[in-house]
A and B are shown apart, each in its own frame.
Chain A
């Protein structure tokens, strides 16, 4: 056996200085040579424990084996048995907490770059189109309504369409993709990739209806009772932004991350006035929070001209929720991380624009309910952090529209739809749910896993049996 290179094959990326002013995708992707080199770092374990870490159960060992053999089409086929959106997952999955965390090399060497390899295969497939890979085998009479076109909805739609069901996806916005469209910036997930995946679903016969707010334009009861849908999958996401409830939060220039990112990604405010939606262009930006969305917002603010962008987080780096790669990239682009810092109010200028954040320094105390050390304010540590743009990226609550307008659907204390985690079944017969609307804010891949399980359960429900596995 050859010696395994201790570190992952490097992922080429745009120059950190150049990319401060450009929206192009930062990570360029592996060449064939790099992909082969990285795939050869996989020892093809007898017992592929990495697969335990994948929420949709991608046969990782087998697809990496196909890469080792130079059979990229075969690798794509293997991935597609479990994951219909590999170009997206290969870019946005928090692999260090999932598959790569389970890699047998961990502890001694860097894990195999599974995410990078998945992306390589997906991109190779995109540039080498093939026929027939997704043709549906049977056509069934039943139709299923999917509410929300984010990762959960797209995955459920894809699985159900491949099983032969008629599928209609309802989307509230004017463009399809949910968080993939409005939330994740172009430099991390090019929208052309979302477009291609949506197009592929269209070829499978999935119908998309934008500008329909289920709960307002049409209710779930109407979908089931009047419009002839045999089942409904609700994947409306965690739509409602959390604010801090501190003074000055409604000053001009204070945004939720959802608003800031939606203006830029969906409405293309970075190109204002070429596009009609404006957004504030900061000189000094402060982003509150340290998850994936906070990194996205920080990197957007840099591209919109911030000379200085601070990421302000009340805990320490160790508790940060962001993907490691995006944290590193944000730092490369110049983001400054203010750990153990809690904003207590936003200070205005004479025009009621935000001028600064008043913050407290924190220290770590005893573990709190989350098991993490509790951040405790240091008395007398107040200081001002200048910023004329503030983005609050502290997470979201479930979107209330479907729960509010669907009688008989059980909701928990957080406003999440209560589901059976194995099937996505709700308290309403024929209605399934998954993704952030049932779990609270989580990740793309977890939402996809939920969409897949629900599709399988819907298939079982419609065929009058118990839960089946969609499989390949």
Chain B
């Protein structure tokens, strides 16, 4: 169990939680995730670690309401606790020691790129953060990420703040403009990851995407999270979550991410009927 110490509403559908997890905080490295379970009947869901504080013994998680479990999570309050929290899982993001990194974050990923930015800056790597949201109110954690970046590039679909358009388009413009990126890391929804991969591919820019497939145990035991990378099957939970964006079979990953859409819709219909 992990006590919830703090909670903030970042957008109407996004919450930030600070939870007490000293062992996780002690071992966490940028790019890793935790698995959480909310109730005795609950599923095990992976969540990227947005921040970790060794001294306070806490980890910060950003959760966007997308399904049943994330809604239950977002309803939790300080003083309460997560029934299960286990981690840090996965491998740390493969970060360089020098150069100029483009960090692309969309949705919850706008928070999850933060620990990468902090570590890259600590190593002396220049950081440009490109974060996207539908509209200005949905853009999260600017106060955290902007000071941790050498350049901060907000993008909105409606142009209400920053660049008017998708993050991948902004990334493409910066690349064309000779930004001099030496590597790129993207965290966020699958369509964005795929767009980033296609944007950097012609430039030959080394790009890693953080994949977030369906998981069960998160320790390499079940293979639910398998991803085809360069024609080989890898497990996102133990071999990832970061993979070479230009080698990932996104089409398959998208199909697999929708594995249980039918079951979930049937369950919702059943719940509505009863």
Encode B201-235 as 1/0 by CB contact (under 8 A) with A.
00000000000000011011111101010000100
Q: Would A211 and B85 be within 8 Å (CB), given that A174-B37, A249-B233 are in contact?
A: yes
Encode A141-176 as 1/0 by CB contact (under 8 A) with B.
000000000000000000000000000000011100
Query: Does the CB pair B264–A278 fall under 8 Å?
Result: yes
Encode A335-373 as 1/0 by CB contact (under 8 A) with B.
000000000000000001000000000000000000000
Q: Would A252 and B259 be within 8 Å (CB), given that A241-B223, A274-B41 are in contact?
A: yes
Query: Does the CB pair B238–A400 fall under 8 Å?
Result: yes
A399's contact among B23, B44, B221, B224, by CB below 8 Å, is which?
B221
Q: What's the nearest-Cβ distance from chain B to residue A369, in Å?
A: 25
Query: Would you list which residues of chain A between 367 and 409 have a CB under 8 Å from chain B?
Result: 399-401
Q: What's the nearest-Cβ distance from chain B to residue A306, in Å?
A: 16
Query: Would you list which residues of chain B between 222 and 274 have a CB under 8 Å from chain A?
Result: 222-224, 226, 228, 233, 238, 252, 255-256, 258-260, 263-264, 267, 270-271
- Bound-state Cα–Cα, A213 to B90, Å: 11
Query: Does the CB pair A273–B267 fall under 8 Å?
Result: yes
The closest CB in chain A to the CB of B259 belongs to: A252
Query: Would you list which residues of chain B between 1 and 58 have a CB under 8 Å from chain A?
Result: 23-24, 27, 37, 39, 41-44
Query: Does the CB pair A218–B27 fall under 8 Å?
Result: yes
Q: What A residues does B85 contact at CB under 8 A?
A: 211
- Bound-state Cα–Cα, A210 to B264, Å: 29
Query: Does the CB pair B87–A217 fall under 8 Å?
Result: yes
Query: Does the CB pair A252–B256 fall under 8 Å?
Result: yes
Asked if B106 is at the interface (CB within 8 A of a chain A CB), the reply is no
Query: Does the CB pair B223–A267 fall under 8 Å?
Result: no
Q: What A residues does B255 contact at CB under 8 A?
A: 252, 352
Query: Does the CB pair B260–A276 fall under 8 Å?
Result: no
B223's contact among A182, A259, A272, A352, by CB below 8 Å, is which?
A259
Asked if A27 is at the interface (CB within 8 A of a chain B CB), the reply is no
Asked if B86 is at the interface (CB within 8 A of a chain A CB), the reply is yes
Asked if A256 is at the interface (CB within 8 A of a chain B CB), the reply is yes
Q: What's the nearest-Cβ distance from chain A to residue B20, in Å?
A: 13
Query: Does the CB pair B263–A272 fall under 8 Å?
Result: yes
> How many Cβ-Cβ contacts under 8 Å join chain A to chain B?
112
- Bound-state Cα–Cα, A245 to B41, Å: 34
Asked if B122 is at the interface (CB within 8 A of a chain A CB), the reply is no
B252's contact among A250, A258, A400, by CB below 8 Å, is which?
A250
Q: What's the nearest-Cβ distance from chain A to residue B127, in Å?
A: 27
Query: Does the CB pair B260–A258 fall under 8 Å?
Result: no
Asked if B88 is at the interface (CB within 8 A of a chain A CB), the reply is yes
Query: Does the CB pair A218–B68 fall under 8 Å?
Result: no
- Bound-state Cα–Cα, A348 to B221, Å: 25
Q: What's the nearest-Cβ distance from chain B to residue A267, in Å?
A: 7
The closest CB in chain A to the CB of B260 belongs to: A278
- Bound-state Cα–Cα, A67 to B181, Å: 77
Q: What B residues does A36 contact at CB under 8 A?
A: none
Asked if B84 is at the interface (CB within 8 A of a chain A CB), the reply is yes
Asked if B64 is at the interface (CB within 8 A of a chain A CB), the reply is no
Q: What's the nearest-Cβ distance from chain A to residue B215, in Å?
A: 10
The closest CB in chain B to the CB of A245 belongs to: B233
- Bound-state Cα–Cα, A442 to B37, Å: 30
Q: What B residues does A241 contact at CB under 8 A?
A: 221-223
Query: Does the CB pair A213–B219 fall under 8 Å?
Result: yes
Q: What A residues does B23 contact at CB under 8 A?
A: 212, 217-218
Report which B residues bind A (CB closer than 8 A).
23-24, 27, 37, 39, 41-44, 68-69, 83-89, 216-217, 219-224, 226, 228, 233, 238, 252, 255-256, 258-260, 263-264, 267, 270-271
Nearest 3 Cβ contacts at the A-B interface:
A273-B267, A259-B222, A278-B263
Would you mind naming 19 contact pairs between A and B with Cβ atoms under 8 Å apart? A174-B86, A216-B89, A217-B86, A217-B87, A217-B88, A243-B233, A249-B233, A252-B259, A259-B222, A259-B223, A262-B217, A263-B216, A267-B43, A275-B42, A275-B43, A276-B68, A277-B43, A400-B220, A401-B220
- Could you list 15 further interchain pairs (A-B, Cβ under 8 angstroms) beyond the known A262-B222, A263-B216, A276-B68? A174-B86, A213-B86, A216-B27, A216-B89, A217-B27, A217-B86, A217-B88, A218-B27, A240-B220, A250-B228, A256-B222, A275-B41, A276-B39, A277-B216, A278-B263
